[in-house]
Amino acid sequence: MKRILSFLFLFGAFTSIAQSHSKSVLDTMVFDLANATTTTTSGTTYYEFPVYAITTGGISSFDFWFQFNETKLTYDTTLVFVTDLDSYSNFNTSNNNLSNTTSGPSLTYELPGNTTLLKLRFILSSASTIIEAADFFACTALFNGNPCNYYWTAPATNNGAGINELNLYKECDLNIHPNPASNYVQLNSNEESLVEVYDLNGSKVMETRMFNENDQLNIETLENATYWLKISTASSICKSRIVKLN
């Protein structure tokens, strides 16, 4: 059945079916433009960004398709970052969708959540081209054949000093939950911590101090988006991503 659905998906045959289902707040596919890289090789400029999953369970397969601004971007290739993952991407000129589906051995391979699954590489129309989240649209995403939430992070800019600062720190080895969250997140840390929240443009939007693992970071007032936490204790400084969803 999965192979049949994947075949139909590649030809844009069940977009209306996917959009008719409700999406779980617990599963989110993130198209991470905030961590995109741009490189120029032999006169060709490439734009590449990660795709990763935030989920409470394992993923045996994932699919997505979307359209993009073809005056700025041309699809080049998909780079897979999970061992044994068999991923197939295709640009369909009949409906202008870039499609990705898993097949073969990956159908029985449980993918880890919260890690980069693959990277999508495009060719920029020119080295000076500026990419915005609005350059990607009409998106549908599925985990294990079921519609899920998806999110396009805002491209990083040079205006936010916080982004450059955060690049200095390693990812936190903490259980930060729930994630995604709508009201609060909790850090599984017994140390007193200074928690700073940055948007993906590098602007600090919140700061608070947490004293033990029972304290909660209230994020009710934040807009739905992906944020970076900078967590400073007496012994270390680290960073972690969270997603705010209502």
**Of the CATH numbers 2.60.40.3080, 1.10.1040.10, 1.10.287.3510, 3.40.50.720, which one belongs to the domain with range 161-244?**
2.60.40.3080
Please give the pLDDT value at position 114: 67
Please give the pLDDT value at position 15: 31
Give which of 226, 186, 228 is closest to 210, Cα–Cα: 186
Alpha carbons 116 and 126: distance in angstroms, whole number:
27
Q: Is 161-244 the same fold as 2-152? A: yes
String of DSSP letters for 128-169: T----GGGEEEEEEEETTEEEEEEEPPPP-SS-HHHHHHTTS
Sheet with 184-187: strands ordered across: 176-177, 184-187, 216-218
Write out the chain's pLDDT in tens, 246 residues: 434 333 333 434 333 223 322 334 457 888 988 888 889 889 899 999 999 888 766 777 889 999 999 999 999 999 988 777 778 899 999 999 999 998 656 556 666 666 788 999 999 998 888 888 889 999 999 988 888 888 888 786 544 556 667 777 888 888 888 888 899 999 888 888 999 998 877 778 899 999 888 889 999 999 888 888 999 888 888 888 888 988
> What is the pTM assigned to this prediction?
0.60
Give which of 141, 115, 136 is closest to 52, Cα–Cα: 115
The residues spanned by each domain of the chain are 2-152, 161-244
Helix (H, G, I), strand (E, B) or coil at 176: strand
Please give the pLDDT value at position 167: 72
Please give the pLDDT value at position 119: 93
Give which of 62, 65, 222 is closest to 136, Cα–Cα: 65
Which CATH number does 2-152 carry? 2.60.40.680
String of DSSP letters for 55-78: -SS-BS-EEEEEEE-TTTEEEEEE
Helix (H, G, I), strand (E, B) or coil at 3: helix
